[in-house]
Each structure stands twice: as structure tokens, then as C-alpha cells.
Amino acid sequence: MELFGGILSVKAVSFLLFSVMGIISLGYILGRIEIKGISLGTAGVFLVALLYGCLFYDDLSAQLFVEWKDEAGSVVNTETFVSSALKIIDNIGLILFVTAVGFIAGPNFFGNFKKNFKSYVVLAVIIILSGGLACAGCILVGRNFTDLESGEFTALLTGILSGALTSTPGFSAAKEAAKDYVDAVSVGYGIAYIFGVLGVVFFVQIIPKMLKANMAEERQLLANIDSKSDKKTVKGKLLEMDGFGIMPFGAAALIGIIVGAFKIGNFSLSTTGGCLLVALIFGHIGHIGKISIMPKDSTLKVFREFGLVMFLIGAGVSGGARFAEYFEPVYFLYGMIMTVVPMILGFLFAKYVLKLSLLNNLGSITGGMTSTPALGTLISTAGTEDVASAYAATYPVALISVVIVSQVLILVFK
């Protein structure tokens, strides 16, 4: 098999597929284990991927390499592409997941957003700002107990913030601003990402149990909000481009990638934000004339779950490798603080000040924390996909806020 002028063995590709399928299988088994009604769910895949990265990343690197040969057939260079392969898996998963979420949320999104616009904006800003303040506090305290240079330590802590909020755009923005300390940002992101994922996943399961919430009533409260959607329906049969709706799904993802690539200064929506925005619009419109641009519900559910799993594998394996190499307990503690503080403050603010219903609150928290895995868990916990509307409403505001906060922290504390 030829790849960009090099030779990639079929054995290497088979090894990669074997690894991915093994992680999926073991991850779902782990995710099914319940302790007092709390389970990892799909996040079990992330833990298995993380462990795999810790133990077998070097073996994966040794298998996934390209041999570059000259005209005589002699090997002139050998280069591993394990990080690229994991990034491809990660990105494909993220595109599938957020596009599916956008379509699912689209029909009810704009009515919900119109009703709670101020609440969503304020909540997202509160969450990200409190995370930024927690990061600033950790920098001010921690720099007195570290041997790292001031700029390097700030870059590390800002990377921890982006990992604690599981924010790829924040991570990218921090790397751009850090300049000479890009590696420190990457290390911090990898260390904090673990609790950033698991912390919110557990939070959205624990809170309903602590409050002894009646899920049937909470689903009805959420449905009452979504029923006010301004989406117009079309009478008559719509023409479908294919039986599953894969064509409109692919079109939305393609346009979303293009939209996400546009930059204004240093800011862009990124692939994630672009795909989410375009899918929301497609899902809201539902059709162009008599042509349906809405995939089947079954298609969206499969793509949402499969995309989430691929994303967790890509992030987990690469994160596991960095975690094993750079982990220090105090950095993990910083990450926990930056995850827990904004999450709890955001929940309390939404509950007592904004008066949001429980599922609307938790859906908004997953969006405000930019936590893709937690949304998947919340959908299972809530028993309804309507929570995706709240996620989609707070996510874009949080996306912009975390990019700004990450850059400001590095500029102020460099």
C-alpha cells in the first residue's frame, strides 16, 4: 500500500484497526459496570484508550511507520505516523459527533435559544471566566513552588485550563500565544484532559441522583421549552437523496469544515464549531423546497455514538502517552480545580439565579464546559436527546470565551 511516496504495510493498518476495535470492546464492557447507579458509559472507552496509550504507545509507534525508498528500492528514511493516525481518528470522530448533535438539536434549537438567549450567554461566560480565574489563582500560588521559568509555568497552567475544559480551540489558542513554550501547553493539556472528561461525565450522573430528580418530569419541562420552537413544518412528502440521509449529513460536515477554517485575527470556529453551526442550520431548516436535508434519526444516533467513540480513542491514546511521561500530582490537582470550580459555580448560578430546569441546566453545563463526552452521557442519563439543544446553545459562546481567556492569561502572566 503506497502512501505519499512511502510504503505503509498492510500489517500496520491491520494492527491499528485491531487496536481500535479492542479498545472499543473493552471500553464498552468497562462502561457498563455500575457502582451505586453511576457508570462510565461511553467514557469507559476513553479510560481503556488512556491505559492503552500508557502501556502500548511505543509499540503502536513501532508498527505505524512509513518507509521511504529510492528508485533502487533502498530505504532512505523511516518515519512513524502514529500521532497523525490518532489525530485523524480524533478529528473524524469529532466531525461525526458534533454534526449529528447539530442535526438532532436543530429542529428545537432556535426556539429554545430565543427564549433563553441571555441565560445561555451569561452562563457560558460565567463558566469560562471562573475557570480562567481559577487558573490565574493557581498560577499566582504555584509559581512560588516551581523551578520552571515564569513564562513556561504560565504556559503549562494555561494548557491545564484547556485540558480541564476539554477545549481544543482553547488549546490551539494557548499554543499560538505561548510561542517558545508550546510543549508546556501540550503537557498541561494532556494531564488535565483526563479529569476534564471524567469529572463532567460523573457530575451529570451524580447531580440528578443527589437531587432525587424525577426524570419523567424533568423531560417534560425540557419538552415544554422545545415545543416553543419556531421551526416550520412542510406538508406533503419530501424527496430524500438517500434512504439514510447520509448525503445531507456529508454536505453539512463538508460546509462546516470550510466555515470552521475561516479566521478572523487568531480566532476561528474550528472544525468543531463550523460543523455544529452548519448542522444546526440544516436541522432547523429541514428541507430545501421539496428536498429533505434531514438525515434519519437512526443515522444520527449511530453517527453520534460512533463519532464519540472515535474521538475518545484518538484523544485517549495520545493523552495516555503524554500522561505517563509528564504526570506530576500537583498538576493533576490544578486540573481538578479548574474543572470542578467552573462546573459547580455554573450549575449553582443556573439553578438559583437563572432558574433553569435540571436537564436544561446540565445540558448547558456540558456546552459551557465544552465537554463532548459528557453530552453523550447526559443523553443516556436523561433519556432524551433534547438536552443537545442546551449544549448547542452554550457551546459557541464558551468556545469564543475560552480562546480569549487562554490568550489573556499568557499575555498577563508571561
Distance CA(202)–CA(194), nearest Å, equals: 12
Shared domain for 51 and 119, answered yes or no, is: no
| 402 falls within a domain | yes
φ/ψ region of 127 (left if φ > 0, alpha if ψ in -120 to 50, else beta) reads alpha
DSSP 153-181: HHHHHHHHHHHHTT-HHHHHHHHHHHGGG
200, part of any domain: yes
* Any domain includes 265: yes
Q: Is 239 helix (H, G, I), strand (E, B) or coil?
A: strand
Q: How far apart are the first and last CA of the chain?
A: 47
* Contact yes or no for 159/188 (Cβ under 8 A): yes
H or E stretch covering 231: none
298 falls within a domain: no
52 and 150 share a domain? Answer: no
Query: Which of the listed residues 36, 68, 84 is the one where a domain comes to its end?
Result: 84
Rounded to whole angstroms, the Cα distance separating 220 from 101 reads 20
Q: Is 331 found in the same domain as 221?
A: yes
Range of the domain at 40: 2-84
Residues 134 and 214 in one domain: yes
- Note whether 52 and 115 are same-domain residues: no
In this prediction, residue 218 has a pLDDT band, given cuts at 50, 70 and 90, of: confident
| Chain segment 237-264, per-residue pLDDT in tens | 788 888 888 999 999 999 999 988 887 7
Domain end marker among 68, 84, 100? 84
How many domains are contained in the chain? 2
Say yes or no: 182 and 143 in one domain: yes
Please, are residues 166 and 368 in contact by the beta-carbon 8 Å criterion? no
Q: Could you tell me if 124 and 66 lie in one domain?
A: no
Task: Kindly report, residue by residue over 272-313, the tens digit of the pLDDT.
Answer: 778 888 998 998 898 888 888 899 989 998 998 898 889 888
Q: Is the pLDDT of residue 339 over 90?
A: yes
Which one-letter amino acid corresponds to residue 273?
G
Coil, strand or helix at 249 = helix
Same domain (yes/no): 266, 163: yes
Q: Report the range of poorest mean pLDDT among 31-35, 212-216, 286-290.
A: 31-35
Is residue 97 assigned to a domain? no
> Domain check: are 68 and 198 in the same one?
no
pTM over 0.85: no
Do residue 191 and residue 335 come from a single domain?
Answer: yes
